[in-house]
Structure 1
Amino acid sequence: MKLKPLGRTDLLVTEICLGTMTWGSQNSQAEGHAQIDMALDAGVNFMDTAELYAVPGSPQTSGRTEEIIGNWLEQSGRRDKWIIASKIGGGGSKFLRDGRRADGPSIRIAFEQSLRRLKTDYLDLYQIHWASRGSYSFDGSWTYAPHKQETADVLANIEDMLGTLGDLIKEGKLRHAGVSNETTWGIAQWLRIAETRGLPRLVSVQNEYNLLRRHFDLDLAELSHHEKVGLLAYSPLAGGLLTGKYNDGNVPKGSRADYQKAFWRLNEHSEAAVKQYQALAARHGLDPAQMAIAFALTRPFMTSVIIGATSTAQLSNALGAVDLTLSPELLAEIDAIHRRYPRTI
């Protein structure tokens, strides 16, 4: 398992990160613990969670995932084997601090609660789950309206959050700060304010990246290259869409679409692209899920690809992607499909 530096730090994380968001809702504690053991045996040292998990977030399920991880850490006594990242939710989750956006005081509250659930006295990485001003992630790009943002308020909010993150680092409770579902301009402001105010520098951004959604290839990739803010890519399989299991109207029992009774990624445009990538994988004798993950691993801005699974069989298959080398010819064919289907979800 390859190791990569987290930003400009000397902290090395594996190129695969264990995603955990279904534990406590779609997955039991025993299943979550089995995934932790399997990933650790495969050499993974990086695990990502959030106060919102398990998903879909609700007053009944949120926080359960961190509790499951905390129970494993307590029972195993192996906290030192994991680099653990968590996140604070923001506005939009009405059951988290009455929908209050992420700010300095709410970070303090959420962070301390996460430490208690995780049964640890420090976190390696703490991330802002969504920009307080809104986000174009998921299907938000169709309605994203940055012209409605108040610049002074956005910048004051970032500085406020950085101040608390800096305090947590000084207290020895936190090692590094990151963001999620952020834009190029947003990350640039985090970096600028940190430099001018002597506050913590971002080490990573966690955004969606997969064969169907490649926003990061453009200005975010440029910022990542020059500023060393690497991508932690979530949904490398587009929520399972790239496996082809939803083709032709299928909704497999136990799948995310079945469990959540909705799946916004699936439409006539995305299905057409998925079938092209499936056919490509078949021509090269590859598993389509492994091909999709292996593609993400080739990207020069990639720090770690977050693998979420609802079974150890799925996790085992995903982990196999690290041994897959995609030929230049196959990568060229991927780019050709992407040109025909540049944005499908």
Structure 2
Amino acid sequence: MSEAVNRQILLVEKPTGKLGPEHFKLVDGAMPAPKDGEALVRTRYISLDAANRAWMHGATYRAAVEANTVMAGGSIAEVVASNSPALVPGDIVFGDTGWQDYAAVPAKHLTKMPRMEPMTHLLSIYGVAGLTAYFGLLHVGKPKEGETVVVSAAAGSVGSIVGQIAKIKGCNVIGIAGGKDKCNWLTAELGFDAAVDYKDGATFKALRAAAPNGIDVYFDNVGGDILEACLALMNNRGRIACCGAISQYDGVPSAHGPRGVPGLIVVKRLIMQGFIVMDFIDQRDAALAELQSWVTAGKLKVQEDVIDGFENTPKALIGLLAGENRGKRMVKV
């Protein structure tokens, strides 16, 4: 690759229905020049997240992605040149680089990461996925030993970590995932106590059988009908950590959210709280230390789904939205 070329993937139009390859275009852009206070970085691994799709709908906790711009996304990148005293060439950083080989980013918007092998762990267990699972479960869900914890999208990047942390904390853990293979993997490999296949169509019945004593903590990654099923089974003073609503992101969202919510929340004195990982960023170091100790002790398995080749990024995101991945999906640039 000539050093003067910067491959970029543009979002050429915002999808009204399901996301498809036709919504993206691979182009050769100009090499960015870092201004004062910025660093020029080269992307190494691009993070793929359901939230990428949500950004196309409009502003969330970040600005919306507009048509004919570089598709937004976080990545692990290496500093090539720096006009900031905070970073030097060779530093490894996490930041919102977008889907491109090179980006010029203000140094204050880049998080310096430790050098480690495999580097992919910086996007999964020690990145946004691991920290989202850690803070969402422990600080929002607040599970106690012996309680029943249910997590949806349990075979995904966040859900697979949430369930394992809940087991470490002595909880009874039930995962909800799509397909028998994923469900078997949750129980056989990751140590979940039970798994419910939502593709079977009888989610509520299967959940009730798996959680005969009700649900104390529900970690919600999907919203929609699954949230509705879990709400009905919540115990008094149960906690719901709202992390995402993937069922509503791609294509035409279902016409309703959970029905009967206000009544249930009052009668059962439930706490339902949304959060994003940046809320807890001041506690990041302590969380990373604990995650690292669990991985080292073999209590927490890291599952990654690395797709090779920058040009495969759109297809990899479309596949993620269709539930193809196990664990954290990313693209090796």
Q: So what's the TM-score if we normalise by structure 2?
A: 0.30
User: Greater CA radius of gyration, 1 or 2?
Assistant: 2
Higher helix share: 1
Q: So what's the TM-score if we normalise by structure 1?
A: 0.29
